[in-house]
Amino acid sequence: MKKEIPLLITAIFGSFMIVDYFVPHPAVSLVGETLQQWAIIVISFSYVLGVANIARINGQKISKRSKDWPFAVPLLIGLAFMLGAGIFGGIGEGTLFNDFFLYAYTPMSGTMFSLLAFFIASAAFRSFRVRTVEAGLLAAAAIIVMLGRVPVGAEIWDKLPAVSDWINNVPQMAAKRAIMIGASLGAISTGLKVILGLERNYLGGE
Amino acid sequence: MRSTKAIVLFSASFLLLACGLVLTAAAQESAPAPTVPSEGPVRWFDLQRLNIAIVVAVFFILVLVFIRQAAKGASFFIRKIAGLDAIEEAIGRATEMGKPVLYVPGIDDVNNIQTIYSMVILGNVAKLVARYETPLIVPVCRAFVVPLAEETVKQGYLDAGHPEAYNPNNIRYLSDEQFAFTAGVDGIMLREKPAANLFLGSFFAESLVLAETGFSTGAIQIAGTANIHQLPFFVVACDYTLIGEEFFAATAYLSREAKLVGTLRGSDWMKIILIAAIVTGAVLETFGVTAFTRWFTVQ
């Protein structure tokens, strides 16, 4: 029964959400919106589980002096501090919580994101090494597209921006759309398998 | 005999689409203009979406027909997918090196089908890992995914007959914030040096940061996502990449369960129908007939 009831709930609500897309009747839309609000409420409860997971794993790490335990100390202090700041001081503009988020977390997040530029350079360097015919085609297409995007490309050959656009709009777009159609069909059939109960691993144990 | 059946099925599906075209065209003729708010009687079906309903119905019918055929004992061919074959090889390598396996189920919540499917693959990976007695680390980006991942991995260890090897401390919720999570996973890769990194799920801008960090540690890397903008990053930085639909074929491929393989057959037939529709549309547009392509417009 531990699996049958969740499967039944999945089948009923999954099918209902499909019906909701096609039926504009207010009665159906209202139920659909209510279900989505339920989902948001259930998801917000899961943050308690998330905090418990962090506290348990890192608390054990500190108490057992496991490898790299000092990293767990600032993590737990940060978690407790932000929780306290949010609960007792609020989260609006000008609060301690908001200031720490804007002036501590956001710059660190931006730093992580900016690493992407360097990783793109290192990944591009590896992928453009011409070892096979395919790699040669890739490198040639990449050079044309890159040159077509900068003013010096048009100076070298005035048709280069047009060739670059053609590569982007025709072969690249065709391949991308083919992958997109395949992935969408895969997603729909997976949804159907979940609704029919053919895929049930995600429900866990008996 | 089988090819005759296939042709009949294909023709029937295409005919159904064509009938849908005629029906929708007739319905759209009589339907009120979509931009003007109507105060008329409430409708029980959105005629502007009839085309989507017909295509989805055809697809569902195809999938159900092939599931039924598979249940009756029909066997279907699945082409070799190198990325899925490599999962066991990667776990074997990690076992030989005495290092853990890292499984990242993407950064999206369970309302994304890719995350649900990633949990399904995680179940299979957990079984393999338990059999090899290798640690499995699963960093999680969404709090709601934590209990799902815990239950899935626990069940995998149970199915493999090694429930005692399951370590709940290896299912680690890091953060809901994209780059805080990325920094956390990078830290795990650099400190614990997993020998195999599996990135299977919905990824965004963090994909290359994760994959390049994994590359720098020398781990064997397998990625899979249906987010097409991230595929090039995974292709250049990982050893194997499951592209789009290959990601959704994983459980059918790994388990070879007849009903799951049947759904793949249904998807393949739908692709053939869509290719035929695209070619037909291109030819008709060339001759100035636009009704066919307009039928596929989503309102």
Nearest beta carbon to residue A24 from set B46, B151, B209: B46
Q: Measure A162 CA to nearest chain B CA, in Å.
A: 23
8 Å CB contact between B236 and B212: no
Please indicate, yes or no, whether residues B147 and B230 belong to a single structural domain of this protein.
Answer: yes
A109: its two tokens: 């997040």
From chain B, pick out residues whose CB is under 8 angstroms from the CB of A67: 191
| Interatomic CA distance for residues B153 and B146, integer angstroms | 11
pLDDT digits over A122-143, tens only?
998 888 888 889 889 989 999 9
**Complex ipTM value:** 0.91
Split into its structural domains, chain B has a count of 2
Q: Measure A159 CA to nearest chain B CA, in Å.
A: 27
Please indicate, yes or no, whether residues B231 and B95 belong to a single structural domain of this protein.
Answer: yes
Question: Hey, are the CB atoms on B259 and A120 less than 8 Å from each other?
Answer: no
H-run or E-run covering B134: none
Please indicate, yes or no, whether residues B97 and B74 belong to a single structural domain of this protein.
Answer: no
Please indicate, yes or no, whether residues B272 and B249 belong to a single structural domain of this protein.
Answer: no
pLDDT digits over B15-74, tens only?
555 555 455 555 555 555 444 455 567 788 999 999 999 999 999 999 999 999 988 888
Please indicate, yes or no, whether residues B72 and B200 belong to a single structural domain of this protein.
Answer: no
Please indicate, yes or no, whether residues B236 and B88 belong to a single structural domain of this protein.
Answer: yes
What is the domain extent for residue B232? 82-254
Q: State chain B's maximal CA–CA distance in angstroms.
A: 71
Please indicate, yes or no, whether residues B242 and B190 belong to a single structural domain of this protein.
Answer: yes
C-alpha B188, offset from chain centre:
26
B149: its two tokens: 């991942």
**CA nearest to B123 within chain A:** A201
Please indicate, yes or no, whether residues B135 and B212 belong to a single structural domain of this protein.
Answer: yes
Please indicate, yes or no, whether residues B74 and B88 belong to a single structural domain of this protein.
Answer: no
Please indicate, yes or no, whether residues B280 and B161 belong to a single structural domain of this protein.
Answer: no
Q: In the structure, what pLDDT confidence band is assigned to residue B2 with cuts at 50, 70 and 90?
A: low
Please indicate, yes or no, whether residues B226 and B141 belong to a single structural domain of this protein.
Answer: yes
Of B196, B225, B77, B229, which is closest to residue B129 (Cα–Cα)?
Answer: B196
pTM: 0.88
Q: Measure B142 CA to nearest chain A CA, in Å.
A: 8
